[in-house]
Structure 1
């Protein structure tokens, strides 16, 4: 029995060695490989693959816009237009190659764009609007402020006429209008070109103020500081009269008035007492009314 077991031992060892040789001849299976390359949507600026010209290029995908491509690669839209010579930047199509970098050693001249670039929703720039409001309140007196309340249209100058002979009685000329005193009352302020551009005539509130001559009302309001409620009448191409400090105005701008017509009621607006401030202006310059009004 012992002899039989000893004869089988070499045979068993031979089988074990043969199995080991077979196992060593079998090729091991490969380990799995993980692709760690980020998708194109996660690549930063300048990650586009280069083209044959050396410029980085982007292949247009569904939903791409020129603005979105510019943002993705950190460039400006106008540069994409120039690098790709796009006449219509709104017409890009899927599969089109778009250069997203400048060509090396080449200067690309900008071309005219036939249509504006369409902005993505929410990217429209807000335009600031300037709100202009009418100027309100009274303007302080100045020659410019006075001129501003006069009619803008200037009538054509009449043909030159021979100068009429002066009227020795009041210093006026025979072609001047015949003037009336605009109100009754005591003169409390006389003409001074530097400090008083007319006459100040005292009165009671509500006294009648009349047109010194016939003409057209060119201003009726209270927009000139220091004059209160003011009426200005244009008589011809040379003369205007002004009636200030009224408590009530009875005529409107554009209205024609007759000589002696009541145009206002005397008052004290912008004044220290009830009075009428009366001016005569010749060709825009104040003159002494005492040289034009009849003697009292």
Structure 2
């Protein structure tokens, strides 16, 4: 489900977000980044990014706390120069020419990690409320589950976890049924899937706690809410920013 959402999320946010949102939606990938940073584009790999910035793969992985270097996403912002106060030259790699004449990094390619990709570190925390009453039947792991699943009965109210603007409302994303995506301040988005009814429209401003949908089983085999939190286009664990029950 996570991979399908990631692909559809990028397609729908880029299609429906207005020009004012483009600078904030990392999935669209057009906002400028500061010196020493790079925004991932389609077809990029860690090895290619490292070579282009005359760095080693291990430096890029270390500076961005990546536990799985192969899990980078389009629109993700990566540090490609040493953080202030760090040792810049210890693991710096200058590309060398291979026997075929193409550039190649002098360090070997990192092997694929078996652990889930590391979540983005948000510079500014977001204050959330629970989007629905119910039992959490599946938690976040960053790989197979990009959010949490909350089970309850059909028609249970679903509310906006934080104030923001609806950037997608529809059922065009396979595997997610009736879906809402809300943009919040500081590069955050929340997604609400499998609803039986939607009560807000694209472009509508919503307040925290406002009813936006009702729980259902659209495109799913049981009634539940699949809830995701994204920072700069990358999944993070919503439980970290939700209040204790």
Q: Report the TM range for the smaller structure's normalisation.
A: 0.5 to 0.7
Alignment-derived partner of residue 264 in structure 1 = 213
Residue 244 (structure 1) shift: 0.4
The one of 134, 148, 156 equivalent to 2:11 is 148
Unaligned runs of 5+ in 1: 1-139, 161-171
Q: Deviations over 1:98-147 (max 9, x none)?
A: xxxxxxxxxxxxxxxxxxxxxxxxxxxxxxxxxxxxxxxxxx92533220
Q: 1:157–1:215: structure 2 CA closer, same or farther, 3 Å change rule?
A: farther
Correspondence 1:281 to 2:223: no
Residue 237 (structure 1) shift: 4.2
Alignment-derived partner of residue 187 in structure 2 = 238
Q: Which has the higher strand share?
A: 2
CA distance in 2, matches of 1:141, 1:159: 30
Task: Check conservation: 2:183, 2:190, Cα contact below 8 A.
Answer: yes
Residue 158 (structure 1) shift: 9.2
CA distance in 1, matches of 2:154, 2:34: 44
Normalising to structure 1: TM-score of the pair? 0.46
SS in structure 2 opposite 1:143?
helix
CA distance in 1, matches of 2:189, 2:151: 22
The one of 194, 206, 209 equivalent to 2:155 is 206
Task: Check conservation: 1:157, 1:237, Cα contact below 8 A.
Answer: no
Residue 292 (structure 1) shift: 1.1
Task: Check conservation: 1:151, 1:218, Cα contact below 8 A.
Answer: no
Residue 193 (structure 1) shift: 1.7
Which runs of structure 1 show a deviation greater than 6 angstroms over 4 or more consecutive aligned residues?
A: 157-160
146-155 vs 237-246, which deviates more?
A: 146-155
Normalising to structure 2: TM-score of the pair? 0.55
Residue 277 (structure 1) shift: 0.4
CA root-mean-square deviation: 2.4
Q: 1:207–1:157: structure 2 CA closer, same or farther, 3 Å change rule?
A: farther
Q: Deviations over 1:227-264 (max 9, x none)?
A: 11000000024100000000000000010101110000
Alignment-derived partner of residue 229 in structure 1 = 178
Unaligned runs of 5+ in 2: 24-30, 36-120
CA distance in 2, matches of 1:290, 1:157: 30
The one of 170, 186, 197 equivalent to 1:248 is 197
